[in-house]
Amino acid sequence: MLNSIRWRITVTYFSLFLLTILLLSGVLSKVLENYFINNLTVSLTKEAIIAQQFIEGSYPANQQGLDALVKELGATISTRITIIDHTGRVISDSDEIALIMDNHLDRPEFIQALDGKIGSSTRFSTTINTTMTYVALPLTHKNEVVGAVRLSIPTDQIHSTLREINTILLFTFLLAILIFVILSLRLSSIISKPLEEVTRSATRIALGDLKHRIFTLAQGEIGQLEQAINFMAEKQQEKIAEIDDKKSKLEAVLSHMTSGIIVVNHKGSITLINHAAQALLGVKAHKVLDKSFQAVLRHGDILTDLNQVLQQGKVVTRDIYIENPTAKSLQLVMAPIYHDKVIWEGVLVLTDVTAIKELEKMRSQFVANVSHELRTPLTSIKGFVETLQSGMVTDQNTRERFLTIIASETERLSRLIEDILDLSKIEANKNKPQLDTILLDTIIDDTIHQLKDQADKAGLVISTSSSFDNIKVLATYDGLKQVLLNLLQNAINYTSPNGTIEVSVKEEPSHYIVAVKDTGVGIPAEDLPRVFERFYRADKARSREKGGTGLGLSIVKHLIESFGGSIWAESLEGKGSTFYFALRKPEDNC
C-alpha cells in the first residue's frame, strides 16, 4: 500500500506543497514584519522630526521645562521620548526617570544620530521587556550636535497584527492543504488507476491467461504500455499455440511410430519413453520415468555407448538381443541432443529387427537349401554322363536306363528351377496381386480333367463331393489353378492305388473353405506344422521318387495368402490327409 504509485504520488505532491507553503508563509511573514516596521519607522521618523524641532526651538531649557515638554509631547503622540546629551547621558525621558537610566551612548540609533544622521533600530528592550522600534535624530544648537532625541514605540502591536495575519494564513493554508490532499488523491488515482489496471492485467497474462487483453482506453505512455502488453500477450499466445502444435505433432509421431524412443538426461535418467519403447521393453512409462536407464535395459556395452554419446557427442549404433518380455533382436541408435551447443540429453532409437534377422537367416538357409537341391540332381547327372562317356557301359539296356535317369533328373532340375522362380515371383507380387472373381466349378473341373491321366495311372479317382455351381471366390485364375494342381498332385503322389481323392466346398459368411481330401499315407503329427516350409518333406523317399521339389506347398501357401486367404492341413498317419484353404467371397457376393 505504502509502495503504491497512488500513495507515492500523493506523498510527493503533498511534501512539495507543504514545503512551498512553509517557505511562502515564512517569507510572507518576514516581508509583512519588515513592511510594518518600515512603516512604523517612517511615521516615527516624522514624529521625531516634529519632536526635534520642538526641542531645538526651546533649547537650552532648564531640566524641569525640558521634562515637561518631553512628557507633554510624549503623551500627545503616545510615544516614549528620550533625550541624551552628546556624552550619551539621558537628560530627559517621557516615561522613565532620566537620572537613574544608564548611559545610552552605545545604542545604535543614538550613535547614528550623534553622527548627524537619522538613526533607527528595532530590538528587544530589557528595560521594558518588549521589542521596541527606535528612531533617533540629532539635536543641534548653533550648528553643533549637542545631543539627540529618540522616539521609541513597542512593536507588540505589529507582532500581534502579524500573529493575526499568520493565524488567518494558517487556516487558509490548512484549507488549501485539505483541498490539495483531496485533489492530489484524485489526481494520483487518475494516474494510478490505469497503471493498476495494467499491472492487474499483466499479472493475469503472466499467470497464463494469454487470452486476456487490457482495455483502459488510456492515452499517452500508459496507452502505449497497454498496447505493448497486449501485443506481447498476442505474440506469446501465437508462440504457445505454435509450441503446442509442434508438441502434439511430436507426441502423435512419437506415440504412433513403430520404433521405440527413449530420451536419457546427462545423469542417465529416463525423461521420455514412447509407447513402442514401452512395448518393446515390457515396461510402463510411469514406473521408469526419472529412473536410471539401467533399470530398463541392463547391458554393459550400452552404458559405455551412452557415456560416449553424452560425453563425446558420438552417434553409436549397436545390435542387441534381449529375452524379456519376449526374445527379440533390437537395433539401437544412440545420438546426443544439443541445447545451446552443450550436450543436454541422449536419444535412443530402438528398432525391432527380429523379423529382418529371421528373414536374413531364412534367406541364407534358402540359398543353402537351393544349392543342396540343385547339387543332388546335378551330381547324379554328372556321374551318369561321365560313366557313359568313359565307354565302360557297353550294355544297351544299362545305357538306356542311365539316359532315362539323366532325363528324369534333368526334368526334376528344371521343375526345381521353375518352382524357385514361381516362388520368387509370388513373393515379389505378394502385396499387390490383381484379384478377379473366379468361378470355382470350371476351374476345379479343368484341373481334375488335366490330372485325369496321372490319376488313372496311379489307379486313383478324383471326385467332387459337393456342388460348385455358381460359387465365386476372389483369386487369380492362374494362381488358383496352380494351388489346385499342387494339392491334387500331392494327393495323387502320396496315395496308394485304389485310394480316393475328394474335393469339396463349404460356405462360410464371408468365405468358402475348399477341402482336398485323400486316403493316402498321411503326415506324421510332428511334421504336419512344417509341411508348408520351403524344401520341407515329411516323406523324403517318396517325394524324391515322385520327383517332388519340396516347394509345392510353400508355393500354395504364398498364393493363398496373396489372395487374402489361409491354408491348413489335417492328417492321420496311414489314414490320409485333408488340405483346407479359405478364400474370400467377392464383395457383392457376401
| CB of 502 vs ligand ADP, minimal distance in Å | 12
Q: Using alpha carbons, select from 560, 554, 556, 561 the residue that is nearest to residue 533.
A: 554
CA 366/CA 382 separation, integer angstroms? 24
Phi, psi (rounded to 5 degrees) for 325:
-70, -25
Taking the least distance from each CB to ligand ADP, the nearer of 150 and 557 is: 557
**Taking a C-beta distance cutoff of 8 angstroms, is the pair 131, 122 a contact?**
yes
Taking the least distance from each CB to ligand ADP, the nearer of 82 and 490 is: 490
Q: Which of 10, 92, 188, 554 binds ligand ADP (CB under 6 A)?
A: 554
Q: What is the DSSP letter of 149?
A: E
* Cβ atoms within 10 Å of 300's Cβ, excluding its own: 8
Beta strands in 46-183 (DSSP E): 80-85, 90-93, 119-125, 130-141, 144-154
DSSP string, 216-238: ----HHHHHHHHHHHHHHHHHHH
Within residues 40-79, the interface with ligand ADP by CB under 6 A covers none
- 377 near ligand ADP, rule: CB under 6 A: no
Taking the least distance from each CB to ligand ADP, the nearer of 479 and 522 is: 522
| CB of 473 vs ligand ADP, minimal distance in Å | 22
Q: Which of 218, 455, 480, 531 binds ligand ADP (CB under 6 A)?
A: 531
Within residues 485-514, the interface with ligand ADP by CB under 6 A covers 490-491, 494
Q: Which of 109, 226, 345, 518 binds ligand ADP (CB under 6 A)?
A: 518
- 346 near ligand ADP, rule: CB under 6 A: no
- 552 near ligand ADP, rule: CB under 6 A: yes
**Taking a C-beta distance cutoff of 8 angstroms, is the pair 440, 584 a contact?**
no
Q: Which of 549, 559, 562, 583 binds ligand ADP (CB under 6 A)?
A: 549
DSSP string, 2-57: TTSHHHHHHHHHHHHHHHHHHHHHHHHHHHHHHHHHHHHHHHHHHHHHHHHHHHHH
Taking the least distance from each CB to ligand ADP, the nearer of 6 and 481 is: 481
CA 58/CA 62 separation, integer angstroms? 10
Please tell me whether residue 509 adopts helix, strand or coil conformation: coil
Stretch that binds ligand ADP, among 284-292, 386-394, 453-461, 519-527 (CB under 6 A): 519-527
CA 590/CA 416 separation, integer angstroms? 39
Residues in the chain: 590
Residues that contact ligand ADP, how many (by CB under 6 A): 22
| CB of 418 vs ligand ADP, minimal distance in Å | 12
Taking the least distance from each CB to ligand ADP, the nearer of 107 and 558 is: 558
Taking the least distance from each CB to ligand ADP, the nearer of 154 and 547 is: 547
CA 473/CA 486 separation, integer angstroms? 19
- 82 near ligand ADP, rule: CB under 6 A: no
- 369 near ligand ADP, rule: CB under 6 A: no
Taking the least distance from each CB to ligand ADP, the nearer of 93 and 539 is: 539
| CB of 248 vs ligand ADP, minimal distance in Å | 51
Place of cell 487556516: 171
Phi, psi (rounded to 5 degrees) for 241:
-60, -40
Taking the least distance from each CB to ligand ADP, the nearer of 480 and 531 is: 531
Q: Using alpha carbons, select from 247, 248, 230, 66 the residue that is nearest to residue 139.
A: 66
Stretch that binds ligand ADP, among 85-93, 376-384, 392-400, 552-560 (CB under 6 A): 552-560
| CB of 575 vs ligand ADP, minimal distance in Å | 10
**Taking a C-beta distance cutoff of 8 angstroms, is the pair 290, 308 a contact?**
no
Stretch that binds ligand ADP, among 87-95, 191-199, 406-414, 533-541 (CB under 6 A): 533-541
| CB of 453 vs ligand ADP, minimal distance in Å | 19
Q: What is the DSSP letter of 470?
A: T
Q: Which of 121, 184, 543, 562 binds ligand ADP (CB under 6 A)?
A: 543
Taking the least distance from each CB to ligand ADP, the nearer of 233 and 492 is: 492
| CB of 472 vs ligand ADP, minimal distance in Å | 27
- 523 near ligand ADP, rule: CB under 6 A: yes
| CB of 403 vs ligand ADP, minimal distance in Å | 24
**Taking a C-beta distance cutoff of 8 angstroms, is the pair 441, 468 a contact?**
yes
CA distance readout (Å), 152 to 43, 49, 93, 125, 349: 11, 13, 11, 10, 113
- 550 near ligand ADP, rule: CB under 6 A: yes
Place of cell 521618523: 45
CA 420/CA 535 separation, integer angstroms? 10
Taking the least distance from each CB to ligand ADP, the nearer of 483 and 582 is: 483
Which positions lie near ligand ADP, rule CB under 6 A? 490-491, 494, 518, 520-523, 531, 536-539, 543, 548-554, 577
